[in-house]
Amino acid sequence: MDTFSNLASRQKGIVGLAVTTAVIHIILALLNSDDMMFLVLFLLNGLGYLVLIAGLYFLPQLASQRSLVRWGLLAFTAVTFILYFVFNWPNIWGPIGIVDKLIELALMILLWQDK
């Protein structure tokens, strides 16, 4: 955990938001495990967030590629954000969905600001 303590507050926010949205997606996948497509997509989405955040701050082998990984996480988050509205329109007002979209919006803002 020493690496986490070396992160700036904005970077800690990025980690917290990415892990939170990853956990939400993984929990939703497990709660809807009867729908195989939903299960796979949401598990992969949650794991994608975890892998990208690990690559961004916690894998020293990728330190020279940090900017590229950050842009990848930003794009991944933006696609997830947009697809929520595409797949759920017009029923977009579910509380878990809206909370998760607010988390992703905050994540995108912090990633954009993090240089």
78-93 pLDDT per residue, tens: 999 999 999 988 889 9
Say what the pLDDT of residue 66 is. Answer: 94
Place of tokens 């929520």: 84
Preceding peptide of 95 cis, ω within 30°: no
Q: What single DSSP character describes residue 44?
A: H
Rounded to the nearest integer, the mean pLDDT of the chain is: 93
**CB neighbour list of residue 104: distance below 8 Å, 6 or more residues apart:** 17, 21, 77, 80, 81
Give backbone dihedrals phi and psi of 57, rounded to 5 degrees, phi first: -125, -20
42-59 pLDDT per residue, tens: 999 999 999 999 999 999
CA distance 86 to 81: 9
Q: Is the pLDDT of residue 3 over 80?
A: no
Contact by Cβ (8 Å): 21, 101: no
Say what the pLDDT of residue 39 is. Answer: 93
In which band, very low, low, confident or very high, does the pLDDT at 33 lie, cut at 50, 70 and 90? Answer: confident
Q: Is the pLDDT of residue 1 over 60?
A: no
Confidence (pTM):
0.92
